[in-house]
């Protein structure tokens, strides 16, 4: 079987969301967590979006769908 099971992309989405929550670059976080190249992480994130685990990115927001966290 080629590719990863759907659960894999749920995990990718969780890592992505956690990175956004703490203000880390989400694609880099996915790459580091899974020990894969940045381009592979970006492809996995795109697939997670296609599967509905992440919302589509909004134009003008480089961090996906959320602005960076405010310093508090």
Does residue 27 sit within a domain?
yes
Alpha-carbon distance 41 to 34, whole Å? 8
Does residue 66 sit within a domain?
no
Alpha-carbon distance 40 to 52, whole Å? 18
> pLDDT 10s per residue in the chain (72 long)?
478 999 999 999 999 999 988 989 999 999 999 999 999 999 999 999 999 999 888 777 665 666 555 655
- Domain residues for the domain of 20 are 6-49
Does residue 36 sit within a domain?
yes
Does residue 13 sit within a domain?
yes
**What's this model's pTM, rounded to 2 decimal places?**
0.81
Does residue 71 sit within a domain?
no
Does residue 60 sit within a domain?
no
Decide: 13 and 48 in contact? Cβ < 8 Å: yes
Angle between helices 26-34 and 38-50 (to 10 degrees): 110
Q: How many structural domains comprise the chain?
A: 1
């Amino acid at each position: 079987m080629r590719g990863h099971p759907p659960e894999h992309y749920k995990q990718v989405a969780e890592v992505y969301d956690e990175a956004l929550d703490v203000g880390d670059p989400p694609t880099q976080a996915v790459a580091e967590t899974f020990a894969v190249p940045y381009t592979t992480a970006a492809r996995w994130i795109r697939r997670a979006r296609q599967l509905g685990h992440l919302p589509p990115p909004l134009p003008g927001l480089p961090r996906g769908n959320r602005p960076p966290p405010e310093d508090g």
